Amino acid sequence: MSERRIFEHPILDFDRGNEFYFDFEGKKVKAYEGETIASALYADGLRKFTESKKLERPRGFFCAIGKCSSCLMSVDGRPNVRTCVTPAKQGMEVKRHGPKAKFPEIDIGRGKDRVEKEIEIAIIGGGPAGLMAGIVAARNGADVHLFDEGDSLGGQLVKQTHQFFGSHKEDAGTRGIDIGDDMVEEAREVGVEIHTESKVLGYYPEKKVAIEANGRLEIYDSEGIVYAGGAVEDYLSFENNDLPGVYGAGGVQTLMNEEGIVPGEKVLMVGSGNVGVIVSYQLLQADVEVVEIIEALPEIGAYQVHASKVRRAGVPISTSHTIKKAIGEEQVEGAVIQKIDENWNPIEGTEREVECDVICLAVGLSPDVGFLRQADCEMDYVPELGGFVPLRTEEMMTTNRGIYVAGDAAGIEEATVAALEGKIAGAAVYEEIKGETEDTKKSKKEAQQGLKQMRKGPYGEAPRQGVKTCTVDEEVCG
Amino acid sequence: MMSEDYKSTGIIRKEDIEIPDDERLRKGPVVIIECVENIPCDPCVATCPKDAISMKEITDVPNIDFEDCIGCALCVTECPGLAIFVVDCSYSEEKCKITVPYEYLPVPEEGDEVQALNRKGEMVQKAEVTKVRKSGKTYGITIEVDKDNVWHVRGLEVIE
């Protein structure tokens, strides 16, 4: 098997830690400090991570950010561990247990040493929205705790190797990876207390956040919450779409840009929006062949400049095309694609086989709003923002007073917008608890202006309309 | 919209963009910006030392003053869309230089012969690298091509 780890990259430096081994079903698997269990297994060639409940079909790596359940395994006797967000450790024992894990016989410490703590502000999610909210609230003097389930912060920024668009003032021209690092550093400097590997289990009234961390239950009784939990990837239905090798674009980015592991050799990209085209470019930079980008619509969704960039590298983009099926038994060995007419009906006789070992889905994202539903925040279905989103005031407060939302959880846009919304939410939650300051007023004003700028132009039309429909007056909030 | 326009192909045609006239081309190197949509992006404006690129709104298409442009190519490596090129058709009847942004490995060196690619990634001709400049992680690579190809060449591939 060829080396899956990337050692030379035009943009990224992979500073791998020490090399060590862990046990996977009796086999020694190599890993580097900082790698997740799933990444190390993937680099070792493993494709089947678990299997489906009824038909026992193979299930592989998919989202890579702890949102799906394709990578659950037993680690040191503990079942249902999300191996994609759990760091590999020397000597650990990892086993697949399929979809029906047994209750562990070993003592896993659940329920012991339960911690309850009163805090001022809880921020959920350590991407650009959560970090920015934390920075603003903490620099004004609030006691701010930020929770993220990953072992590092930055959200999806840490995978963005390209230079950002947007305003020069708002970090455009800087690469996402660098913006993420800067924000994390600033958050630490201004005193945000950061809790990584801290999984939010749920919301409890009034403003209590239940967290699983350090192998125990921790309950944070807060006065205000900013929820910045991001988004989940959308799926597409086609024959064999559950085969290992069918991955979400975010999963591919995580594996490739964070973990430094290539997903395969030949990729079929489904979806020509900015995500699909940018990930295609990143694949090319990692020396992976992108055989084709297909798009169901008659036009390319991405910015022309992104599309031109991958075309210059020789990648064809086929519009009015869909994927009919994935080929393969245990993993993807190819795909059948097909032309569709203006009514989205497949045109018979236009089927074409594409040779690939990865099918990457970049067909959209949906806001991850489970926590907010649990907190009884009122929702609205806003297609322009990617699905169900919470109603919110201009200051990003949901209908449950004191709970704020920012970033993709408030509607699918991009990182600059997420940071700006976070800035507003961070200032507003501070004001709600402790009152206005010069800085909170200024932060809100600047960020509102920034948002207006970002949502200008034809590409801003959808979010502009979407945000309009779900913005409410403060009187609506409880 | 026409079916063969950039929205369906991803490929810019000469008529989609603003290009300097022959007189300006003869004077010296000058910028070609292949960015035609109203997207929220403005680093090119801030980068230009001569204020030759301007925008009223961040979503405007860059407005270029070809007379003020000195063809310094700083914007080539700053554009997040990698959509800026510099051409120099001033020094020879047969040859032109073109500077393209480059973010792949391996990075060519001055004097290397590379494949010059068009907007579809097809090989157009072999070309010599005359200059390699790095800004951040992006390279601006200048290659010399036949004059007839200067409107076609927009990329390069290292010959291994």
pLDDT at B139 over 90: yes
B35 to chain A: which residues are within 8 Å by CB? 304-305
Q: What is the pLDDT of residue A170?
A: 67
Are residue A226 and residue A371 in the same domain, yes or no?
yes
Domains of chain A: total? 3
Mean pLDDT for all residues in chain A? 93
Measured distance CA(A20)–CA(A25) in Å, rounded: 16
Note the Cα A429 to chain centre separation in Å: 24
The number of angstroms, rounded, from the C-alpha of A408 to the middle of its chain's C-alpha atoms is 9
Residue A114, pLDDT score: 82
Among A6, A162, A163, most B C-beta atoms within 10 A, so best to mutate, is A163
Contact across the interface for B83 and A308, Cβ inside 8 Å: yes
Last-in-domain residue among A347, A365, A383: A365
Q: Which one of A325, A346, A365 terminates a domain?
A: A365
My answer on whether A377 and A360 are in the same domain is no
Percentage above 70 pLDDT, chain B: 98
CB-CB neighbors (< 8 A) of A262 in chain B: none
CATH number of residue A409's parent domain? 3.50.50.60
In a domain? residue A102: no
**Cβ contact A457–B155 (<8 Å):** no
Distance in angstroms (rounded) separating the CA atoms of residues A21 and A32? 8
Same domain membership, residue A266 and residue A196: no
Kindly state whether residue A12 falls inside one of the protein's structural domains: no
In a domain, A200, yes or no: yes
Q: pLDDT band at A457, cuts 50/70/90? A: confident
User: Are A370 and A343 within one domain?
Assistant: no
The residue of A169, A297, A311, A315 whose CB has the most chain B CBs within 10 angstroms, and thus the best one to mutate to test that interface, is A311
Q: Residue A361's domain spans which residues?
A: 246-365
Cβ neighbours, 10 Å, residue B23: 8
User: Mean pLDDT lowest for which of A169-173, A334-338, A435-439, B143-147?
Assistant: A169-173
Q: Is residue A180 part of a domain?
A: yes
Residue A370 within any structural domain of the chain: yes
> Which of A58 and A158 is assigned the larger pLDDT?
A58
- Nearest CB among A166, A299, A307 relative to B40 is that of A166
Measured CA to CA, the distance from residue A276 to residue A222 in angstroms comes to 39
User: Torsion-angle region of residue B121: left (phi > 0), alpha (psi -120 to 50) or beta?
Assistant: left
Residues in CB range of A133: below 8 A, 6 or more apart: A123, A226, A228, A404, A406, A422, A423, A425, A426, A429
Mean pLDDT value across residues B91-95: 96
Chain A residues in contact with B114 by the CB 8 A cut-off are: none
Predicted ipTM beyond 0.85: yes
Pick from B35, B46, B59: which is nearest to A456 by CB? B59
Residue A275 has pLDDT above 70, yes or no: yes
Whether pTM exceeds 0.90: yes
Which residues does A contribute to its contact with B (CB < 8 Å)? Answer: 8-11, 162-168, 172-173, 175, 284-285, 287, 298-300, 303-315, 317, 319, 453-460
* Predicted local distance difference test score (pLDDT) of residue B3: 52
Q: What CA–CA distance (Å, rounded) separates B54 from A78? A: 59
Same domain for A302 and A321? yes
Structure tokens at A299: 């036009």
Q: How far is CA B7 from CA A178, A463, B32, in A?
A: 31, 21, 20
- Do A136 and A202 lie in one domain? The reply is yes
> A324 Cβ partners below 8 Å, 6+ apart?
A238, A239, A335, A336, A337, A338, A346, A351
Q: How far apart are alpha carbons B93 and A45 in whole angstroms?
A: 56
Nearest residue in A to B34, CA atom: A305
Cα(B109)–Cα(B96) distance, integer angstroms: 19
Residues of B in contact with A462 (CB under 8 A): none
Q: What does the pLDDT average to over B127-132?
A: 98
Say how far apart CA A38 and CA A61 lie, in whole Å.
7
Whether A175 sits inside 8 A of B41 (CB atoms) is no
- Provide the sign of the torsion angle of the four alpha carbons A14, A18, A24, A26, taken in this order: positive
Per-residue pLDDT tens for A95-137? 999 888 888 776 655 556 788 999 999 999 999 999 999 999 9
Same domain, A361 and A250: yes
Last residue of a domain, one of A329, A345, A365: A365
Q: Do B10 and A167 touch (CB under 8 A)?
A: no
Mutate to test the interface with B, among A293, A304, A306 (most CBs of B within 10 A): A304
Q: How many of the other CB atoms lie within 10 Å of CB of A240?
A: 19
State whether A299 and B37 contact (CB < 8 Å).
no
pLDDT higher than threshold 50 for residue A453: yes
Residue type, A25: E
Is residue A14 situated within a structural domain? no
Number of CB atoms found within 10 A of residue A66's CB: 17
Whether residue A350 contacts residue A329, with contact meaning beta carbons closer than 8 Å, is answered with: no
Quick one: DSSP state of residue A257?
Answer: I
In 3D, which of A42, A46, A28, A35 has the Cα closest to residue A89?
A: A35
Residue A30 lies in a domain: yes
- Is the pLDDT at B78 greater than 60? The verdict is yes
Between A321 and A178, the more confident residue is A321
Q: Tell me: do A67 and A123 sit in the same domain.
A: no
Chain-chain contact of B137 with A175 (C-beta, under 8 angstroms): yes
Residue A36: pLDDT over 80:
yes
Residues A288-308 have pLDDT tens digits of 999 999 999 999 999 999 999
A216: confidence class by pLDDT, cuts 50, 70, 90: confident
SS3 A291: strand
Is A460 found in the same domain as A416?
yes
User: Looking at A84-133, which runs of residues are DSSP E strands?
Assistant: 93-95, 115-118, 121-124
Do residues A59 and A52 touch, judged by C-beta distance below 8 A?
yes
Q: With beta carbons under 8 A apart, name residues in chain B contacting A166.
A: 40-42, 58
- Out of B7, B11, B41, the one facing A311 most closely (by C-beta) is B11
Nearest chain A alpha carbon to B35: A305
Same domain? For A273 and A299 the reply is yes
> Edge to edge, what strands does the sheet with A403-405 contain?
A193-195, A144-147, A121-124, A224-227, A403-405
**A contact test, residue of B5, B36, B39 with most A CBs within 10 A:** B39
Domain membership flag for residue A238: no
* Mean of pLDDT values over B6-29: 95
pLDDT above 90 for B58: no
At residue B2, the pLDDT reads 43
The answer to whether the CB atoms of B39 and A8 lie below 8 A apart is: no
Are A405 and A297 within one domain? no
Those residues with Cβ within 8 angstroms of residue B31's Cβ, 6 or more apart along the chain or in another chain:
B52, B53, B64, B66, B69, B71, B73, B75, B76, B84, B85, B86
CB A212 within 8 A of CB A147: no
Q: What's the rounded Cα separation, in Å, for the pair B154 and B149?
A: 10
Do residue A126 and residue A227 come from a single domain? yes
Select from A254, A245, A269, A334 the least CA-distant residue to A63: A254
d(CA A156, CA A219): 26
Q: Is the pLDDT of residue A463 over 90?
A: yes
What's the mean pLDDT in A429-458?
95
